[in-house]
Structure 1
Amino acid sequence: MNESSSVDSLLTILRTEAARLTPGDQLPSSRELVNRHGVSPVTVSRAIALLAAEGAVFTRPGSGTYVAVRPSRASEPADTSWQAVALGGRSIEPAVADASSAPPAGTIMLSGGYPHESLQPTKALGAALARAARRPDAWRRAPAAGLAPLRAIFAGLPGGSVTPEDVLITGGGQGALSLLFRAIVPPGSPVLVESPSYPGALAAARAAGLRPVPVPMDQHGLRLELLADAFAMTGARLLYCQPSCHNPTGTVLAAERRQQVVDVARAAGAFLIEDDYARHLGHGRPLPRPLVADDRDGTVVYLTSLTKPASPSLRIGAVIARGPVLRRLLGMRRVDDFFIARPLQEAAVELLSTPAWDRHLRTLATDLRERCAALATGVARELPDWSLEVLPVGGLHLWLRLPPDLPEAALADTARRHGVATDPGAPFFPAESSAAHLRLGFAAAADQSELAEATRRLAGAAAELRERRGE
């Protein structure tokens, strides 16, 4: 037997013996292994060295060879199946696909909820952050409710009788939604929502253990008679809605319905969460006064954010609330995360206090209006059988009803293969939808030429899907 085969044979024997022992046990000495297996000392030395390289044993000079702690085998996947029982079968699904995952090269983005980088005030943000960092107290602990100057700025946004003491600074809009749904009603409760509605809100409500109940809309917003029926039938104590530039439809709640919605909620003894995400995303025309501005009794809990008009990474928003609910929100803040990072709050104060912010908002309004018109024109030209019920006066999206022969999921998949990312309508509905829809964003694309190209690609995708389905 040659030296190599002798080493392999002894290595196999020693592996088996080490596997029977427990970590820390000593293997036979080299002399004993030589005598027992009739091999040379060199063979024993090489076999032990290979075994040590595998991590199965370790040697102590002058003492001997010992069994090592057995590492988990990287080739075998960890068994986490026990967690299904421990987690109790609950599932938290993301509202939409992760926008941070890069689409295929050349894809035109009509999906997602943030404007293109070219529409962000990058220079103003950098300057604001630099000024904030130079403040001597920039790294001190912030108050739980937020910095006083920032609270004052947000209090002035809706007007009316809102004061800085009514404002809680939050880490963006999505985190605020999660906080509100957990704070206002207990798990298992129904929450009334517009149908369709913002998927991030539906996901946050379900994660809080709530049950979204749809309330239909028309082209003027929530249908009041059905809202009153929903409160009466469910006993709900919470309504979530977007009265201005609703996502996804773009609908603005009609003037004659705005106070009535608040009155219906108050009569039911319920809170109304007013998600005013588009307050800084108007297309040049003034948006209606927020509901909270005329609410003195604490029915309306108002929410807005800077992430969409400024940058996804400026995770700063605000909740306006009055009475015990605000104290509860402050208590949960102290439990959840104590306070929002002070440097980010200081940067927001710097940004919002400069003329550059007002100039940015004027420029953004013009860009959004032109992009909205460009995409609507492209759809009308390339896809005349798609129905656009509302041309939005603010926000970032068009909501299109599809012809009956175009299933939205199949169309979205086909469109992606044609190089266009879209948002299918189903996730926007808290229950079954009555028709197929797509949400098309006009803010995430690079420019208007991309929007025109996107509609051409969508027309090609629709034609391909119809041809396949006709076979």
Structure 2
Amino acid sequence: MDNDSSWRSLAHALAQEIALLPEGTRIATHRELVRRFAASGTTVSAALAFLTQRGLIASRPGAGTYRTATRPVARTGDTSWQESALDTASQEPSSIGTLRDFKAPALMGTLSTSGPDIVDLNGGYLHPGLQSLGTLATALSRAAKRAEAWDRPPAGGVPELRDWFAADIGGGLGRHDILVCGAGQSALATALRALAQPGDPVILESPTYPGTIAAAHAAGLRTVPVPLDANGLRPDHLDQALTRTRARIIIVQPLFQNPTGASLSVARQDEIRAIARRHAAFVMEDDFARHMAHADAGPTPPPMIADDPNGTVVHIRSLTKVTSPNLRVGAIAARGPVLARLRSAHVIDTLFVPAPLQLTALEVVTAAGWKRTLKTLGIALAHRCEVAADAVSATFGDHALALRPRGGYHLWVSLPAHLDDHQLVAAALARGVAITPGTNYYATNSSVMHVRLSYVAAPSASDVDDAIRRLAPLIIEP
């Protein structure tokens, strides 16, 4: 079950079974459903999410999923006509470019939730045990009491928060160079539509974050993958790709890249900026992991925008990864007329980020303990990474990790030649471990199999260690 309609078929089958159960009955676990229906974890999660939305089931954290009380549901008519109305396969590209694609199974997979019997090595958000919940609660309370919390904020963002982002990014940026946005994914989507027309090529790292691929396809852009090495995006291949395609946007993750963990050195940053300027292209810098350096990381290279007086770099930064998935506040930084274009696109998309959310973010980052919070997180990340890397070496072999990053929240694990990443993901889920297939991170097919292991969504480092080592029997060649 891995095609687009598989989760619908599974949801239909489960709905028929669940409807016969008494209220309060615990339904099969996520792992049991994967095994029983030979379905992927993403398919099962999508089916359960649909049934939850329909009110047939409800999850109780730490306890499982249960049949809810029967409620009268409005009759649904024949909606089959929508299939042809929504079908883009039979449509011709418009005069201005290619068709937009809103299929994003890989991105949806990053948001899938695991049952209480599953150790989550897939998620990219901090487990509540790693979040500074007390700080967040205090910040939210203080923000709600501010008089300006219920006034409409400026389109560009609360001025004090823009000031903080400008200082945090550095490079002599000021308030007028900053646009507050709804975290990284929103910023990517807005920036791509603002800076490119449907059908335009866009240069992506290969592999890269599935949300970047999805945002490019939703904007109707043609993705052009460029390979990485241990130091990030390859300048020689970048120059060739820009010459061949005349692309005007290059998207890079400069620090602890997702999924490989690679970081651009200062010299490599200089090369990429110089190549982009020569081709009159923008570098879109997705600096998602800036505050996720490990305690043992040492000095990190500055953002690419810090040494960019000519406005080549459009910088994206978010607070979500180091606070909570619900604090969806980030910033776009840019120099020159491009920021006016970005601001207009942002207003069209969202009007503005709600003031209570911006003020909560401001309270968090200006709190006396903010730097201490980041230091504590860096220590925890370093420990979890060490535990995870040791477990990977013991389970997958000493050569499974080409790079052991000193920041971020994930490991990029190469698989033996006899393994298929999707088959391994399904088998791992049957053993109670959620991992991510490496093919999710490629805009085109890849012949080299990987999986990505996250070590921040599980409750503890020992859970991470146990879950990775639990995969050992699946690695043995038959």
TM normalised by structure 2 equals 0.79
Separation (CA, whole Å) in 2 of partners of 1:247 and 1:98 = 15
SS in 1 for 2:137: helix
Judged with a 3 Å threshold, the aligned counterparts in structure 2 of structure 1 residues 101 and 408 are, in CA distance, closer, same or farther, namely closer
Residue in structure 1 matched with residue 277 of structure 2 by the alignment:
266
Residue in structure 2 matched with residue 367 of structure 1 by the alignment:
380
1:319-352 per-position Cα deviation (integer Å, ceiling 9, x unaligned): 0012221101111222222111001111111111
After TM superposition, the structure 1 = structure 2 runs for residues 399-418 of structure 1, keeping only pairs within 5 Å, are: 399-418=412-431
- 2:329 is aligned with 1:319: no
- 2:232 is aligned with 1:221: yes
Which residue identity does 1:152 align to in structure 2? D
Separation (CA, whole Å) in 1 of partners of 2:405 and 2:423 = 26
Stretches of 4+ aligned residues off by more than 6 angstroms: none
Return the offset for 1:293. Answer: 0.4
User: Could you tell me whether the CA contact under 8 Å between 2:118 and 2:433 is conserved in 1?
Assistant: yes
Residue in structure 2 matched with residue 287 of structure 1 by the alignment:
300
- 2:449 is aligned with 1:448: no
Residue in structure 2 matched with residue 436 of structure 1 by the alignment:
449
Which residue identity does 1:240 align to in structure 2? I
SS in 1 for 2:228: strand
Residue in structure 1 matched with residue 4 of structure 2 by the alignment:
none
After TM superposition, the structure 1 = structure 2 runs for residues 156-305 of structure 1, keeping only pairs within 5 Å, are: 156-284=167-295, 285-305=298-318
Separation (CA, whole Å) in 2 of partners of 1:80 and 1:345 = 42
Return the offset for 1:159. Answer: 1.3
1:226-279 per-position Cα deviation (integer Å, ceiling 9, x unaligned): 110000000100000111110000001133211110110111010000000001
Judged with a 3 Å threshold, the aligned counterparts in structure 2 of structure 1 residues 102 and 240 are, in CA distance, closer, same or farther, namely closer
Separation (CA, whole Å) in 1 of partners of 2:387 and 2:112 = 27
Residue in structure 2 matched with residue 37 of structure 1 by the alignment:
none
Return the offset for 1:439. Answer: 0.3
Judged with a 3 Å threshold, the aligned counterparts in structure 2 of structure 1 residues 102 and 239 are, in CA distance, closer, same or farther, namely closer
Judged with a 3 Å threshold, the aligned counterparts in structure 2 of structure 1 residues 278 and 354 are, in CA distance, closer, same or farther, namely same
Return the offset for 1:428. Answer: 0.4
Return the offset for 1:98. Answer: 4.5
- 2:137 is aligned with 1:137: no
User: Could you tell me whether the CA contact under 8 Å between 2:107 and 2:214 is conserved in 1?
Assistant: no
Residue in structure 1 matched with residue 19 of structure 2 by the alignment:
none
User: Could you tell me whether the CA contact under 8 Å between 2:396 and 2:415 is conserved in 1?
Assistant: no
Q: Which sections of structure 2, spanning at least 5 residues, go unmatched?
A: 1-72, 90-99
**Whose Rg is larger?**
1
Which residue identity does 1:331 align to in structure 2? S
Return the offset for 1:82. Answer: 4.1
User: Could you tell me whether the CA contact under 8 Å between 1:386 and 1:402 is conserved in 2?
Assistant: no
- 2:359 is aligned with 1:349: no
Separation (CA, whole Å) in 1 of partners of 2:199 and 2:347 = 24
Residue in structure 1 matched with residue 117 of structure 2 by the alignment:
106
Return the offset for 1:423. Answer: 0.5
Q: Which sections of structure 1, spanning at least 5 residues, go unmatched?
A: 1-71
Separation (CA, whole Å) in 1 of partners of 2:155 and 2:199 = 29
SS in 2 for 1:117: coil
1:177-198 per-position Cα deviation (integer Å, ceiling 9, x unaligned): 0001100011110000111011
Which residue identity does 2:209 align to in structure 1? Y
391, 397, 409: which one aligns with 1:396: 409
Judged with a 3 Å threshold, the aligned counterparts in structure 2 of structure 1 residues 219 and 98 are, in CA distance, closer, same or farther, namely closer
122, 126, 130: which one aligns with 1:119: 130
Separation (CA, whole Å) in 1 of partners of 2:149 and 2:196 = 36
Separation (CA, whole Å) in 1 of partners of 2:459 and 2:399 = 24
Report the identity percentage. Answer: 42
Return the offset for 1:457. Answer: 1.2
SS in 1 for 2:123: coil
Judged with a 3 Å threshold, the aligned counterparts in structure 2 of structure 1 residues 385 and 353 are, in CA distance, closer, same or farther, namely closer
Which residue identity does 2:233 align to in structure 1? L
User: Could you tell me whether the CA contact under 8 Å between 2:170 and 2:306 is conserved in 1?
Assistant: yes
User: Could you tell me whether the CA contact under 8 Å between 2:123 and 2:456 is conserved in 1?
Assistant: no
Residue in structure 1 matched with residue 103 of structure 2 by the alignment:
93
Separation (CA, whole Å) in 1 of partners of 2:110 and 2:306 = 34
Which residue identity does 1:113 align to in structure 2? G
User: Could you tell me whether the CA contact under 8 Å between 2:392 and 2:400 is conserved in 1?
Assistant: no
Return the offset for 1:134. Answer: 0.9
Judged with a 3 Å threshold, the aligned counterparts in structure 2 of structure 1 residues 380 and 189 are, in CA distance, closer, same or farther, namely same
Judged with a 3 Å threshold, the aligned counterparts in structure 2 of structure 1 residues 83 and 162 are, in CA distance, closer, same or farther, namely same
Residue in structure 1 matched with residue 342 of structure 2 by the alignment:
329
Separation (CA, whole Å) in 2 of partners of 1:385 and 1:409 = 22
Query: Number of paired residues?
Result: 393
458, 462, 470: which one aligns with 2:475: 462
Separation (CA, whole Å) in 2 of partners of 1:447 and 1:88 = 44
1:447-471 per-position Cα deviation (integer Å, ceiling 9, x unaligned): 11111211221112324xx44xxxx
1:64-106 per-position Cα deviation (integer Å, ceiling 9, x unaligned): xxxxxxxx994x7623334533553454122333555442332
Which residue identity does 2:280 align to in structure 1? G
TM normalised by structure 1 equals 0.81
Return the offset for 1:147. Answer: 0.7
Judged with a 3 Å threshold, the aligned counterparts in structure 2 of structure 1 residues 213 and 143 are, in CA distance, closer, same or farther, namely same
| RMSD, aligned α-carbons | 1.7
Judged with a 3 Å threshold, the aligned counterparts in structure 2 of structure 1 residues 78 and 356 are, in CA distance, closer, same or farther, namely farther
Residue in structure 2 matched with residue 149 of structure 1 by the alignment:
160
After TM superposition, the structure 1 = structure 2 runs for residues 18-97 of structure 1, keeping only pairs within 5 Å, are: 74=75, 78-85=78-85, 88-89=88-89, 91-94=101-104, 95-97=106-108
1:125-180 per-position Cα deviation (integer Å, ceiling 9, x unaligned): 11011111111121000000001110011001221221111000000110010001
User: Could you tell me whether the CA contact under 8 Å between 1:192 and 1:236 is conserved in 2?
Assistant: yes
